[in-house]
Chain A
Amino acid sequence: MQSPIYLTGTGQTRFGEHWDMSIKDLMEESIDAAIENAGCTALDIDMVIVANMLGEVASNQAHLGAMAASLLPHHPPALRAEAACASGAVALHTACALLESGKAQTVLVVGVEKMTDIAPSKIAAGLMGAADAEKDAPCGLTFPGIFGLIANRYMHEFNLSRERLNHVSARHHKNGVKNPFAQFRKEIPAEAISMSPKVADPLCMLDCSPISDGAASVVLSTKFESPIKIAASQLATDTLSITDRPTITSFAATKDAMSAALQEANIEREEIAHIELHDCFSIAALISLEDMGFATPGNAIALYEKESPMTINQSGGLKACGHPVAATGIKQVIDVSKQLKNSKSSYGLAHNFGGAAATCGIHILSHA
């Protein structure tokens, strides 16, 4: 980063089923919370970026930039960013670019998703938009199906048993108990994971992140200082369809974004104390840890079988917190900032991807 970018305000709604709240209500609650704990006032915000994927599908609502700006007294300029489940990271990256260019000095980034208003089958069809509509969808594939293919191949290549995979979701649920913003705050024993209903073999219901409503907002500024800074903001992409990739047990976009982010932050991987990673499905957590270099291929499960000095998804991850898709990337950054303040460690990382990691965004936060 040329000039330091500070994370001055953070706020989120609880993730879960909010039948009494509209997309606008969700945004408003998280924006109010973020501005309240920011080192500036609402009037200091000179740009708004909204991350959202399913506004048209689930709420018949486009034009979310203006909707968010209208919640502020001075209606600042606004835009919307979309990259499926990576919308949050893409919005943060866009904000960093605006701040670095000097076009803006204080930017409000809002991630919002309203998913429970329509039938699950409709949401599933909307989420399938994150894959290649003409290559992946026509055979009847769903997103859990895509990760079912990935999980089956991974288990075949690395001889991972279904029992060992159970530890991923079990750990996330255990972590989520202490998070007041999490959708599920109940510990679930490992053996219950594979006993839950099958969704897309070998994945069961408790391997999948849920459908959730929620919003998360941050205020980023080059003008108003805070102890937490954005040390790196990197995006990388890969083919939309998994059929166009040489392998499906590793995600190239995660690898590319990770190496660029470490270089930008100018740190070693070992200096990272906390990570929030994109566990949309249990198998994704393992692949992501390997692609980020925290484990060798096929061995990430060991990080879930014992305690490690680096915390992984202390918030509960997407599994326990819920996954209002575009809000997730923002929420991860909020959680990492809280973890850094709490542990007084120096570096934390948020890993957010869209689709089958066709877009990956990595943000490294530093704590003074």
Chain B
Amino acid sequence: MEEQPLPAASTFSLMRNTPAAIHRAQKDLQRKLQEGTILSFTTVHHTPEGFPAGPRNIGLIELEDGQKVSGHLISETDQPIAIGMKVLPKMRLSSVNTQGLRTYDVSYEIPVQQTVKQEFPGYVLALTGPSGVGKTTVSVLLSTKVGKYVERVPILTTREPKEGDADEYVHVSPEEFLALKNEGKLATSTCIPSRDEKRWYGYRTEDIDAIWQKKMIPVIITEMNLLQGLSSHYGRRSILSFGLMPPGKSKRQMLSSLLHRLRDRGRDTEKQIEDRLKNAEADLDFFKTRSELFDDVIVNDNVDTVVGQLGGLVLERVKA
């Protein structure tokens, strides 16, 4: 959204914009940075001095923790606002005082309403975690344990095949990949830049549909970008989403256990392992920052336990 220019304002109406008042308001920002639901809304046609000229949409919002706030409502589209809509917090320039002090405050964005799929497509089992945590091992064991009910979805990639690759990849050229993506034939895709080339990864919707046709649950091995794409493509509630974490009490211990596994696997050079560890750190943070994308985050310290847990869940869904 374009930021409208803010008019200069008289000091009187902006007494709230004294540095001390702004400082106090900072303490509240963290609390206000939550998703929420619109309890009521209004359009103020005559905005106070110091704010862009009206009309200005303002909502009374119930935040996730139950507290209420009043806040500026913003929207990328001109869809009508309604009571009960979900909103997302966004930091936005709020006002500028006469000394030029710019105040930022939390605004609430009404996300573009995704076309809600009326039909529930089915479940997808997604395993997310850093390289070397054992996603592939878990998925292979899962196939042997409850193979009647699950099938792995092949990963479409533009990277060169190499020794040690399991049967999990389907290799395509970058041109082919982008063509599929542009035709909307991919459920989700992501580009991971490496040292010398861009590598694309993704999943074809036809592969997933084919598994559903067989009344089975597709198993998808993902990373953070692919998971987000998957969730917006099929809807979050279609995804049985599990995060896999390496064992270890601290982030350092977790990363070191990943390092050992990657070295034992012997597929990558030391340089590649170094890259993978850098990404792994971001993956671990992702479990916390986007916890809503996961049904559970499991520590993979015993593969059999993890597989048993996921297998039980699959049987539950299949029977239901």
Contacts from A to B (Cβ < 8 Å):
57, 120-122, 124-125, 128, 133-142, 144-145, 148-153, 156, 197-203, 242-244, 248
Contacts and interface: CB of A to CB of B under 8 A. Distances in A.
B43 interface: yes
A139 B72 contact: yes
Contacts of A199: 45-46
Interface in B1-51: 10, 12-13, 15-16, 21, 24-25, 39-49, 51
A149 B42 CA distance: 5
B41 A149 contact: yes
Interface stretch (B63-71, B218-226, B302-310): B63-71
Contact of B43 (A121, A148, A150, A153): A148
A145 B105 contact: no
A125 to B, nearest CB: 4
A145 B44 contact: yes
Given A149-B60, A153-B60, A142 B25 contact: no
B256 interface: no
Going nearest first, the 8 A-B pairs with the smallest beta carbon separation are A148-B42, A153-B40, A125-B13, A243-B68, A201-B43, A145-B44, A149-B40, A140-B51
Interface string B102-146: 010101000000000000000000000000000000000000000
Contacts of B105: 138-139
A68 B69 CA distance: 41
B320 to A, nearest CB: 36
A198 B42 CA distance: 11
B52 to A, nearest CB: 9
Contacts of A136: 70
A139 B13 contact: no
A167 to B, nearest CB: 21
Given A139-B72, A243-B70, A134 B48 contact: no
Contact of A152 (B42, B46, B67, B72): B42
Contacts of B55: 198
A134 B15 CA distance: 10
Contacts of B276: none
A148 B56 CA distance: 12
11 contacts: A121-B46, A122-B13, A134-B25, A145-B44, A149-B40, A152-B42, A153-B40, A153-B83, A197-B45, A198-B43, A198-B55
A207 B58 CA distance: 19
Nearest to B41: A152
Contacts of A140: 44, 47-48, 51, 56, 58, 72, 94
Contact of A242 (B45, B60, B67, B83): B60
Looking at A125, A128, A133, A244, which has the most chain B CB atoms within 10 Å of its CB?
A: A125
A308 B44 CA distance: 35
Given A133-B16, A142-B48, A152-B40, A243 B60 contact: yes
A137 B49 CA distance: 11
A141 B41 CA distance: 11
A151 B44 CA distance: 13
A contacts with B: majority SS: helix
Given A140-B58, A149-B42, A149-B60, A121 B70 contact: no
Contacts of B51: 140
Contacts of A138: 16, 25, 94, 103, 105
Interface residues of B, number: 36
Looking at B55, B68, B94, which has the most chain A CB atoms within 10 Å of its CB?
A: B68
Looking at B42, B46, B67, which has the most chain A CB atoms within 10 Å of its CB?
A: B42
B25 A124 contact: no
B90 to A, nearest CB: 13
A199 B55 CA distance: 9
Nearest to B106: A139
A160 to B, nearest CB: 13
A149 B10 CA distance: 27
Contacts of B60: 149, 153, 242-243, 248
Looking at B39, B51, B67, which has the most chain A CB atoms within 10 Å of its CB?
A: B39
B50 to A, nearest CB: 8
A166 B319 CA distance: 57
A144 B44 contact: yes
A248 B107 CA distance: 21
A208 to B, nearest CB: 11
A137 B70 CA distance: 9
A243 B83 CA distance: 16
Interface string B52-84: 000110111000000111111000000000010
Contacts of A144: 44, 46
A248 B42 CA distance: 14
Contacts of B43: 148, 198, 200-201
A141 B25 contact: no
Contacts of A198: 43, 45, 55
A124 B44 contact: no
Contacts of B21: 134
Nearest to B57: A201
A121 B40 contact: no
A152 B42 CA distance: 7
Contacts of A124: 46, 48
B48 A149 contact: no
Contact of A125 (B25, B48, B83): B48
B13 A121 contact: yes
A156 B40 contact: yes
Nearest to A245: B68
A351 B60 CA distance: 27
Nearest to A128: B48
Given A139-B72, A140-B58, A148-B44, 16 more contacts: A120-B46, A125-B12, A125-B49, A128-B48, A135-B69, A136-B70, A138-B25, A138-B94, A140-B44, A141-B44, A145-B58, A148-B43, A152-B40, A199-B46, A203-B42, A248-B39
Contacts of B44: 140-142, 144-145, 148, 200
